[in-house]
Chain A
């Protein structure tokens, strides 16, 4: 009676262990091929364009609105303590350390990660990857690593743009609409934000870049070569990257704080 349940449990544990191991091995393979891929940097540049430059508009737009809503909510909250002048520091710290890296990573997973996964999945489904192997071209080196590196390079830049636009969004609402003194806004911000805070945000976004890109290329590369398999790989990319970004964010914050 209970035997099938236990067997299922054991199997599911074994499956998740296997997935973790496969991820690690794949990460090792990607890392090993990275120096060689840097030789052909034009391939990486193309991927920086695909996952970075093409994500620019959505990132900037989201940054603006996140900053604006932060300005509005922050003003409302700080006004209760009569310290609406510190809106600048609250918005800047919030954006730099948390919202910038995390929301950019989530947007990246949705915009660029899915594109990567479906592209690789389709390559797998149409036997392009197998064809490369037949021609003695390592698909990991030629296709996977440039995409991975493109994502890793793009993410910190996207996060920086997000945070900067967000600060201006908060300034727009806080100073122009709610009437916080502009001088107070900027000077409080400068007083509160250390170079360390910017670096923490940048470090976070680099880690998220590695995580999101790795998940996207892994899921795409290992997708089941059918129409359904590609769709499933895309979905898994978003789910796994989002969850791992939020998990990593907590761990990184706990370590760095």
Chain B
């Protein structure tokens, strides 16, 4: 009898430890927040280019995380990407002319959505759309723009040289 009790106790301890470890791994080490009754409210924003933005990425104002990206879909009516964000309930005083910009954390970090506050007296509420958006910067586009502008600069300089030879 005593032996079975020891076995049951040991097993119980082991199973408890195992589930505690699993619980810790899923709640503390991942970026998910569980058990928040505070569901907040939803906003949408349309972007030409979302780059590497992923669902679950933070939405921040002045570096403070105020919500997360809920979903990213493609809107065939506007031919743009529709980003749905969920803002925590406590951040309910965001002016409704605020702008949304896709930013990158550090040089190699993940992308997040930055909200810059506007100056309107009315605030965003459930289901509103952010009007002013700025797309993600795609490095290739930036480089090609730079190269083309350089090439365009070089053009007039080459022209007179051509004429001189004629």
Q: Which residues of A contact B (CB under 8 A)?
A: 45-46, 48-49, 52-54, 56, 83, 92, 96, 154, 156-158, 160-161, 163-164, 167, 189-191, 193-195, 197-198, 202
Contact = CB atoms under 8 A, between A and B. Distances in A.
Given A160-B21, A161-B18, A198 B7 contact: no
Nearest to B112: A191
B19 interface: yes
A198 B30 contact: yes
B25 A191 contact: no
B26 A53 contact: no
Given A56-B14, A56-B17, A160-B18, 15 more contacts: A45-B8, A48-B11, A49-B7, A96-B29, A156-B18, A157-B15, A163-B21, A164-B21, A164-B24, A164-B25, A167-B29, A190-B29, A190-B30, A198-B22, A198-B29
Contact of A53 (B11, B56, B108): B11
Contacts of B8: 45, 49
Nearest to B110: A191
Given A45-B11, A48-B11, A193 B18 contact: no
Most chain B CB atoms below 10 A, which of A83, A194, A195: A195
A164 B108 CA distance: 27
Given A49-B10, A163-B25, A198-B25, A158 B18 contact: yes
B18 A157 contact: yes
27 contacts: A45-B8, A46-B7, A48-B11, A49-B10, A49-B11, A52-B14, A53-B10, A53-B14, A54-B10, A83-B108, A154-B18, A156-B22, A157-B14, A157-B21, A160-B21, A161-B17, A163-B21, A163-B25, A164-B24, A164-B25, A167-B29, A190-B30, A194-B31, A195-B26, A195-B32, A198-B26, A202-B22
